[in-house]
């Protein structure tokens, strides 16, 4: 399957979930980190209902705090570093796919977070529930603040 076909199929497959996944961006960061850790520790973390495959629905009172937030930050940092390398220093094979993915992320239709989540599932084997949270955090922390110097800002966040 070509990279064009992969992106198109991911966008079509996840178009209906875009608004739910995109809504994660409005959640507090520590809440997303705690949820990321809890999803990663669940034995069935890849299983979600047909209506919420990315497992975006949760009860904030059920989230663990403290160590769960720190674990979520570590998981996010590892995923962020791999995605940064793909987006900012791609090899020749990845350059076309990277350009298409970045164009989709920066679009105004709200599907960028869902597309990024689908890409994380396909490229790195993350479960959809974890990929949705990582994508929301990437958009909230890295992509939304600046597009002109995205790689510079992202690289700086990885060094800190």
Hey, where are the domains in the chain? 3-159
Least confident span in 33-37, 114-118, 139-143: 139-143
| Residue 95, H or E segment | helix 92-105
Encode pLDDT of 126-138 as tens digits: 888 898 899 888 8
Contact 135, 113 (CB under 8 A): yes
Q: Count of residues for the chain?
A: 160
Residue 42's CB: how many other CB atoms inside 10 A? 14
Contact 136, 21 (CB under 8 A): yes
First to last CA, the chain: 38
Torsional sign, CA 151, 37, 7, 143 = negative
User: What is the reported pLDDT for 126?
Assistant: 85
> pLDDT band at 141, cuts 50/70/90?
confident
Burial class (CB in 10 A: 0-12, 13-18, 19+), 124: middle
The more confident residue out of 31 and 86 is: 31
> pLDDT band at 116, cuts 50/70/90?
confident
Contact 127, 45 (CB under 8 A): yes
Give 134's contacts (C-beta < 8 A, 6+ positions apart): 36, 75, 76, 79, 80, 83, 117, 120, 126
Encode pLDDT of 46-97 as tens digits: 555 566 666 777 778 888 878 889 999 999 999 998 888 887 877 787 788 8
User: What is the reported pLDDT for 100?
Assistant: 75
The more confident residue out of 82 and 103 is: 82
Name the maximum alpha-carbon separation found in the chain.
46
> pLDDT band at 123, cuts 50/70/90?
confident
Q: How far apart are CA 124 and CA 83, in angstroms?
A: 9
Residue spans of beta strands (DSSP E) within 61-152: none
User: What is the reported pLDDT for 119?
Assistant: 83
In the numeric block, the tokens 């020749």 are attached to 92
């Amino acid at each position: 399957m070509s990279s064009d076909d992969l992106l198109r199929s991911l966008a079509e497959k996840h178009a209906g979930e875009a608004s739910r996944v995109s809504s994660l961006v409005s959640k507090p960061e520590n809440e997303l980190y705690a949820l990321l850790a809890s999803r990663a520790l669940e034995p069935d973390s890849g299983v979600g209902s047909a209506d919420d495959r990315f497992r975006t629905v949760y009860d904030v009172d059920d989230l663990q705090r403290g160590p769960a937030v720190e674990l979520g930050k570590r998981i996010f940092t590892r995923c962020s570093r791999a995605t940064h390398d793909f987006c900012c220093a791609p090899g020749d094979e990845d350059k076309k796919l990277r350009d298409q993915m970045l164009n989709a992320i920066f679009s105004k239709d709200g599907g960028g977070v869902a597309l990024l989540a689908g890409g994380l599932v396909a490229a790195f084997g993350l479960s959809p529930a974890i990929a949705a949270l990582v994508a929301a955090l990437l958009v909230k922390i890295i992509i939304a603040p600046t597009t002109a110097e995205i790689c510079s800002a992202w690289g700086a966040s990885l060094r800190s």
